[in-house]
Amino acid sequence: MRTKQAAAELAKIIAVVNNKGGVGKTTAAVHIGCALAALGKRVLCVDMDTQANLAQNFFSRKFVNTAIKAVQNGSPLPPEHHSSGVDVLTLSFYEADEEEYRAAIHAYASEYEYILIDSPPSLEKRTLSALKASSFVLIPTEAEQFAFSGISNLLQLAASYNLHILGVFINKYDPKKQVHKAFRSFIADQFSQFFLEDSIPTSTVFPNAQAENKTGFEFYTQKKPNAALEAYQAIAHSIIAA
Ligand SMILES: Nc1ncnc2c1ncn2[C@@H]1O[C@H](COP(=O)(O)OP(=O)(O)O)[C@@H](O)[C@H]1O
Ligand SMILES: [Mg+2]
């Protein structure tokens, strides 16, 4: 019983993966992280990509340079707190083997409820380490021709790591485009077991916010709700409900 209670206190560790670049992994990790934190959850976002886009989105290039120096001096920076409530662990410059990456992330498992790992755009060691460290996987995709084979391969890979699939969702979705609608319903149909109904619309909020090293939630201050940010909030709710 004691062991079970202790286990229940450990974070849900979620790898955000898709070996295709530009589909929205980093943007998803940032905004789902913020949405979970806004719901009062203790959240750690881990940057596993050497491009350190996640760390830069939350903070600045200066912060990224500090993270580089910390590793040169021996070890990665400890998690840095962001005003959204999310803590950020930058492993972008930490070179290690799969087991060391797993240990570096699991060291924080008892301090957070959710750990979201942003992974690189290929199936390299860092991505496989993210999968090894995780119990759950979340797959952002675009509504396009090559999504089907990519998702199938990722689901197989996730199964080989015994991961629970939290969901597949569509990013950069434009319902006015017939081709998007057609691919969305094809993907929803083919992967019905895992498909998340909330698609993230194409929105200038993300690139504009990122250009200022801000999250969309910080950047967007209008009263009128923003559909793309609301869609990430809905995904955060479905993660909590899972
Ligand atoms: N819903 C969206 N609408 C418009 N642009 C988006 C959206 N999501 C992400 N982007 C933009 O697409 C680019 C790639 O997103 P990113 O999250 O960096 O992808 P990945 O991490 O998979 O490479 C970034 O410039 C980002 O601002
Ligand atoms: Mg990225």
Residue among 17, 19, 23, 27 whose CB has most ligand 1 atoms within 8 A, to mutate? 27
pLDDT in tens, 173-182: 999 999 999 9
pTM beyond 0.75, yes or no: yes
- Give the closest residue to 90 by CA, choosing from 240, 108, 231: 108
Report the pLDDT averaged over residues 13-40: 97
pLDDT in tens, 83-97: 999 999 999 999 999
Mean pLDDT of the chain: 95
Ligand 1 centroid vs 3 CA: distance in angstroms?
Answer: 41
**Closest ligand 1 atom to Cα of 20:** 22
Ordered by start, the domain boundaries in the chain are 11-241
Please determine, for residue 229, whether its predicted confidence score (pLDDT) is greater than 60. Answer: yes
pLDDT of residue 142: 97
Q: Are 27 and 19 in contact (CB under 8 A)?
A: no
pLDDT of residue 147: 87
Does the C-beta of 232 come closer than 6 Å to ligand 1?
no
DSSP conformation class of 156: H
pLDDT of residue 2: 42
How many angstroms separate the most distant Cα atoms in the chain? 54
> Strands 80-81, 87-90: parallel, antiparallel or unpaired by DSSP?
antiparallel
Q: What whole-number distance in Å separates Cα of residue 137 and Cα of residue 117?
A: 9
The closest ligand to the CA of 150 turns out to be 1
pLDDT in tens, 19-32: 999 999 999 999 99
Please determine, for residue 4, whether its predicted confidence score (pLDDT) is greater than 80. Answer: no
Q: Are 117 and 127 in contact (CB under 8 A)?
A: no
pLDDT of residue 148: 86
Task: Tally the C-alpha atoms within 13 A of residue 216's C-alpha that lie toward its C-beta.
Answer: 26
Q: In what order do the strands lie in the sheet with 164-171?
A: 80-81, 87-90, 43-47, 114-118, 12-16, 136-142, 164-171
Q: Which CATH number fits domain 11-241: 3.50.50.60, 2.40.30.330, 3.40.50.300, 3.40.190.10?
A: 3.40.50.300
Does the C-beta of 175 come closer than 6 Å to ligand 1?
no
Report the pLDDT averaged over residues 190-214: 98
Does the C-beta of 53 come closer than 6 Å to ligand 1?
yes
pLDDT of residue 8: 56
